[in-house]
Structure 1
Amino acid sequence: MSSETPQLPLILDPATLSRHLEDPHLLIIDVPLKVDSYPAGHVPGAIFLDSRRLLAGYGEVPNDVPTEAALSTLFSELGLTPETHVVAYDDEGGGWAGRLLWTLELIGHRRYSYLNGGIHAWRADGHPLETISNTPTPSDYQAAYLNPALQIRREELIERLDDPQLAIWDARSAEEYRGTKGDNRKLGHIPGAVNFDWLDVMDKHNDLRLRDYAELITELEARGLTPDKEIVTHCQSHHRSGLTWLAAKALGYDNVRAYPGSWKEWGNRDDTPVEK
């Protein structure tokens, strides 16, 4: 057991995590889509996080970023400290885990990893499961938006729609992108945005791990999502695009931002242009 924070990669395979379970600086957070996933079996030592805590939860854009005060409360309850290395995972291939890691990056906490494939990969590889709930040791964490450029606001996005250095990655389904499906006042997509469904980022035949990096890069570049550009990713609520933000980061894209308002905001306003 080391007294130093472990040096773990951004994308963590189950076997590597299994060797670090006893590390005192590790905070493993299970942020599942299905609430019964955690009690049914989780990584030993993992803490449960209700994904709704990662959203503002009120106002016209309830999926927006929580206030700094709300994030301070949340991360203090979870026991986060500057020395903590967070390992996030979920039960759906990385959406909510990605949103959590994006939030950590937003507040300047860069010690984190994603358990590749989440609980599905952990189970499939035969690692032990735990069913008792774990209670974190609270801390006094003061969260602030130390990395505000990680998010793009609606106003800046509207201004920069013609910027050739900006590429918008719409992580929703093809039907939502084309405007044949959705429950917003306006259907369609942000002008110039390209569609690459978040489900196509994960490998359905390999326990929802990220797909082969070379294949992903080829498919993204074919859509104009190239590493030299500033990439903005979004979905309906910046839940699915939690994964696409994380995947782009894993692929070596240096300038990836997310639009937390996403289509929930864009598709319900009068002043936002829409393409179908």
Structure 2
Amino acid sequence: MAAVLPTPLISAEALRARLGTDAWPVLLDCSFDLMDTAAGERAWAMQHLPGAHCAHLDRDLSGPKTARGALDGGRHPLPDRDTLAATLGRWGIGPDTPVVAYDAQGGPFAARAWWLLRWMGHRAVAVLDGGLAAWQAAGGPLESAAPTTPVRPPYPASGPAMPTVNAQRLLQGAGDLVVVDARAGERFRGEVEPLDARAGHIPGARHRFFKDNLAPDGRFLPPEALRAAFGRHGVAPTQVVHQCGSGVTACHNLLAMEAAGLHGAALYPGSWSEWSADPARPVARG
């Protein structure tokens, strides 16, 4: 099953064709609202794709904040790998399990789940292109029942399988790297800052709002359009570091690059929430 799962994106039609077969994947409903952190779970309880687990951004897809708060890991630190391995096992995910993540917000939270599974070494994971809306448009059924996926042992992860970059690496001089910020333009330019300590962006960072990866119907742009967009940076994919507010929507840009065939870009997990929390770090505006 795992070998034939379309990745990193799967269409609603392709997913629906698996309904009722042995090829039905483990589904993760990652819907979330940063301003109402219980909203996604409430929506999941009302209706979700058949068998979908609720993957909560704060509880399941992030680690707890440290005593130093945003200074150490930002608003959504990466989860401890052993804890995440146990969570994946609780959802019934093993190395041979196909997994599809989705949300109702254009894909940023599903992309975070996708990246975390890839980080754990799991390759048979895709994001539902167009999310919940695309599934409903394709006539896919919804249910409110709790999932019954058999629990498995903790995921047998090895070392991190996706590259990351920390603030120290960026501070020491990143002339060989291109930092790409996924936040909305007004936040990148420093005109507003509703969530973090200071407004602005990492000096030298370039801007790619994650929603620009989507067509008007909420599905990802064709691979050739994404290749053109990210190719404008003029560097190899392995020289690109993605960041956002807290390491979540940056995963949308990472997913877009993967869908475009541009492999090897890194994530700065702490992102702007970590960077801006330290007054000694430089900030650019405009």
TM-score for both structures, normalised by structure 1: 0.89
Show CA shifts across 1:64-114 (max 9, x none): 111122112211211111111111111111111111111111111111111
Cα distance between partner residues in 1 of 2:258 and 2:221:
14
Match of 1:212 among 222, 227, 239: 222
* Pairwise CA distance, 1:228: 4.9
* Pairwise CA distance, 1:179: 0.9
- Deviating above 6 A after TM superposition, structure 1's stretches of 4 or more consecutive aligned residues are none
- Could you tell me whether the CA contact under 8 Å between 1:47 and 1:135 is conserved in 2? no
- Could you tell me whether the CA contact under 8 Å between 1:161 and 1:191 is conserved in 2? no
Cα distance between partner residues in 2 of 1:267 and 1:143:
35
Per the alignment, do residues 255 and 160 of structure 1 end up closer, same or farther by CA in structure 2, a change over 3 Å counting? farther
DSSP 3-state at the match of 2:2: coil
Cα distance between partner residues in 2 of 1:62 and 1:148:
23
Match of 2:199 among 187, 196, 211: 187
Q: Do residues 69 (structure 1) and 106 (structure 2) align?
A: no
Residues 193-208 of structure 1 aligned to structure 2 (within 5 Å)? 193-203=205-215, 205-206=216-217, 208=218
Q: Which residue of 2 aligns with 1:231?
A: 240
* Pairwise CA distance, 1:137: 1.5
RMSD value, Cα: 2.0
- More moved, 261-270 vs 47-56: 47-56
* Pairwise CA distance, 1:232: 1.0
Q: Do residues 240 (structure 1) and 249 (structure 2) align?
A: yes
- More moved, 231-240 vs 129-138: 129-138
Amino acid at match of 1:16: A
Q: How many equivalent pairs are there?
A: 268
Match of 2:6 among 9, 24, 35: 9
Cα distance between partner residues in 1 of 2:237 and 2:81:
31
Amino acid at match of 1:196: R
Q: Do residues 167 (structure 1) and 178 (structure 2) align?
A: yes
Amino acid at match of 2:11: D
Residues 126-145 of structure 1 aligned to structure 2 (within 5 Å)? 126-142=139-155, 144=157
Q: Which residue of 1 aligns with 2:54?
A: 48
- Could you tell me whether the CA contact under 8 Å between 2:112 and 2:251 is conserved in 1? yes
DSSP 3-state at the match of 1:76: helix
Show CA shifts across 1:122-174 (max 9, x none): 011222222222133111124546225522111122224222xx211100011
Cα distance between partner residues in 1 of 2:249 and 2:122:
21
Gapped regions of structure 2 (runs ≥ 5): 33-39
Gapped regions of structure 1 (runs ≥ 5): none
DSSP 3-state at the match of 1:92: coil
Amino acid at match of 1:218: A
| Sequence identity percentage | 28
Amino acid at match of 1:161: A
Q: Do residues 257 (structure 1) and 266 (structure 2) align?
A: yes
Cα distance between partner residues in 2 of 1:84 and 1:175:
40
DSSP 3-state at the match of 1:51: coil
Cα distance between partner residues in 2 of 1:116 and 1:221:
22
TM-score for both structures, normalised by structure 2: 0.86
Cα distance between partner residues in 1 of 2:234 and 2:200:
19
Amino acid at match of 1:176: R
Q: Which residue of 2 aligns with 1:271?
A: 280
